[in-house]
Amino acid sequence: METKEFIEQLAEAIDVEDVESLTLETKFRELEEWSSLAGLSVIAFFDEEFDKTVNGAELRACNTIQDLYDLATK
Amino acid sequence: MAFSKISNVAIRGIAACVPAHTEENIDSLPVFKEGEAARVVAQTGIERKHTIESGSGVTISDLCAKAFDVLIEKLEWDRESIDLLVLVSSSADYITPPTSNVLHGRLGLSEDCLCYDIRQGCPGWVVGMSNVSSMVSSGNFKRAILLCGDASTLMSSPLDKEMRPLFSDAGTATALEFDTSANDMEFQHGCRGKAFEAIITPAGGLRNPVTEDSLQFKSYGENLVRRDIDCKMDGMGVFSFGLSVAPKSLQSLLDEFHIAREDVDYFLFHQANQYMNTKIMKKLKLDPDKVPFSLKDFGNTSCASIPLTLVYKCREAYETREVNSVACAFGVGLAWGSFHFKTNKIVCPELILY
């Protein structure tokens, strides 16, 4: 998956309306929409799109959208 | 894959008992920031839980004993005729002896009876059914009662936002009997022991005995306050795990035993939370009408959740006709299992309040 599509789908998963505001450098934890429940949406997104199972520690180690992309695609 | 097929065992009845006391999630529990309760209720689907009142002294054996009494009275089973009693639980009355042995005395069972505990969490009912039916299948044991339940609220911190809104307490009883004309039961089991720390009570066992320090409440973040003797959960890790293994487990059971999904009346899932269970249901493309939920009124009752859901949402069907069911449970261990069973007009009393 290209990074542009990744960002779009991530935005949808965590209910961020202004997709244009997101870049790979965005620190997603600082987003107003971010919460532990949004974390679950990210996990579901990883599962559905990448068949990827991640644990809480792996997700907690991520700070930027680039980190999430790397985790999903590595 | 760990599959098994077990013959000659019939399920005769299932009963469930919960505390009468309830706690509403929408009321401002001490673990929510302002406005957070509504969001958590919306995503977990859990509005209230039946919980053992703190300080009441009630334990899981009280709830299971009540379910047992009601069930065998309706079945008209003589207590002397029961030769196997098994308790599946993580909430022991005492460190020693097994709680099933304590219950054996209290329930007035014959001394000609095998009793043991199986320590399990969320996957417990499937593990217990697999175990007990194997014992009965040979005909050596004729009548067995599987008690299954947890007092999760007594084993976790009231100040932990990852536990308090989700978990509640329930005890259940399932009656099984040797019967050469019974339909086969079919199982799939799995375990990921490397991830055992995903749901763990760190102190209180022998690896980390109770110390003064383990009795102190410590903060691990906002509204994440607990003692080392409290159960804790890596919520995201468990969510990811359940989403991955539950659909695979259930699908592999259907494939292995050539079970047509259109022939199944109910898919009974361990009740984790609405968001997770809905995702699992959608991944399997199941008809939502065949997937009962009891989360709204009980939350996650650990190993009791499948029999509780069956009793609370489907008891009329189970009492009045033949029902073809598939159950799927996942969690503590980490472990999982799926179970295919057919019943024919079993005893299924209304939910019992303690």
- pLDDT tens digits along B146-181: 999 999 999 999 999 989 999 999 999 999 999 999
The confidence score (pLDDT) of residue B146 equals: 98
Closest Cα in chain B, distance from residue A47 (Å):
7
pLDDT confidence tier of residue B247, bands split at 50, 70 and 90: very high
pLDDT at B203 over 70: yes
What integer is the mean pLDDT of B272-286? 91
pTM of the full predicted structure?
A: 0.91
β partners of residue B233: B199
Q: What is the sign, positive or negative, of the torsion defined by CA atoms of B241, B242, B247, B250? A: positive
Whether the predicted pLDDT of B59 surpasses 90: yes
Q: Is A55 in contact with B276 (Cβ distance < 8 A)? A: no
Q: B146 - beta bridge partners? A: B86, B174
Record: contact A40-B235, CB cut-off 8 A: yes
Contact B43 A53 (CB under 8 A): no
Tell me how far the alpha carbon of residue A41 is from its chain's centroid.
Answer: 9
A53: DSSP letter? -
Q: Find the mean pLDDT for residues B345-353.
A: 97
Helices B305-320 and B124-137 cross at an angle (nearest 10°) of: 60
Phi and psi at B229, nearest 5°, equal -85, 0
Shortest Cα distance, chain B CAs vs residue A3, angstroms: 22
Q: Which A residues in the span 12-51 are in contact with B, Cβ-Cβ below 8 Å?
A: 35-37, 39-40, 43-44, 46-48
Least confident segment among B24-28, B184-188, B208-212: B24-28
Burial of B32 (0-12, 13-18, 19+ CB in 10 A): buried
Is the pLDDT confidence value at A14 over 90? no
Question: Which of B220, B239, B281 best probes binding to A when mutated, by most A CB atoms within 10 angstroms?
Answer: B239
Asked if the model's pLDDT at residue A42 lies above 80, the reply is: yes
Q: How many CB pairs under 8 A join A and B?
A: 49
| Tokens read off for B134 | 């194997």
- Minimum mean pLDDT range among B34-38, B84-88, B250-254, B345-349: B34-38
Q: What is the DSSP secondary structure assignment for residue B195, as one 8-state letter? A: G
Tell me the average pLDDT across B193-207. Answer: 95
Residues of B in contact with A57 (CB under 8 A): 234, 237
Query: Which range has the top average pLDDT, A8-22, A55-69, B198-212?
Result: B198-212
B10 or B273, which is more confident? B10
How close B240 comes to chain A (CA, Å)? 6
Rounded to a whole number of angstroms, the distance from the CA of B233 to the nearest CA of chain A is 10
Instruction: Give the pLDDT mean for B77-91.
Output: 97
Q: How far is CA A13 from CA A7, A25, A37, A46, in A?
A: 10, 18, 11, 10
Q: Among A30-39, B127-136, B167-176, B323-332, whose mean pLDDT is lowest?
A: A30-39
Beta strand spans in B57-127 (E): 84-88, 114-118
B276 to chain A, closest Cα gap in Å:
9
CB-nearest partner of A54 from B40, B198, B240: B240
Q: Could you give the dihedral angle defined by the CA atoms of residues A63, A69, A73 and B1, in that order, rounded to the nearest 10 degrees? A: 60
Candidates A43, A55, A56; nearest CB to B243: A43
DSSP assignment string, B115-178 = EEEE--STTHHHHHHHHHHHHHHTSS--EEEEEEEEEGGGGS-TTBTTTTTTB-EEEEEEEEEE
Q: What is the pLDDT of residue B28?
A: 67
pLDDT of residue A32: 85
pLDDT of residue B1: 62
Residues 174-203 of B with CB under 8 A from A: 195, 198
Q: From the CA atom positions of chain A, what is the Rg in Å?
A: 11
Residue B184 above 90 pLDDT? yes
What are the DSSP calls for B245-279, one per residue? HHHHHHHHHHHHTT--GGG-SEEEE----HHHHHH
- Would strands B169-178 and B9-18 be described as parallel, antiparallel, or unpaired? antiparallel
Please provide the average confidence, as pLDDT, over all residues in chain B. Answer: 95
The owner of tokens 């959208």 is A65
Would you give the DSSP letter of residue A64? B
The full length of chain B comes to 354
Amino acid, single-letter form, for residue B323: V
Query: A56, B234: Cβ pair inside 8 Å?
Result: yes
**pLDDT digit string (tens) for B29-45?**
888 888 888 888 988 89
Percentage of chain A modeled with pLDDT above 70:
100
Radius of gyration of chain B (CA): 19
Place of tokens 């650990």: B302
Q: Which residues of A touch B249 (CB under 8 A)?
A: none
Instruction: Quote the pLDDT of residue A51.
Output: 87
Q: What pLDDT score was predicted for residue B36?
A: 84
Query: What is the complex's ipTM, to 2 decimals?
Result: 0.74
CA A55 to chain CA centroid, nearest Å: 14
Q: With an 8 Å Cβ cutoff, is A61 touching chain B?
A: no
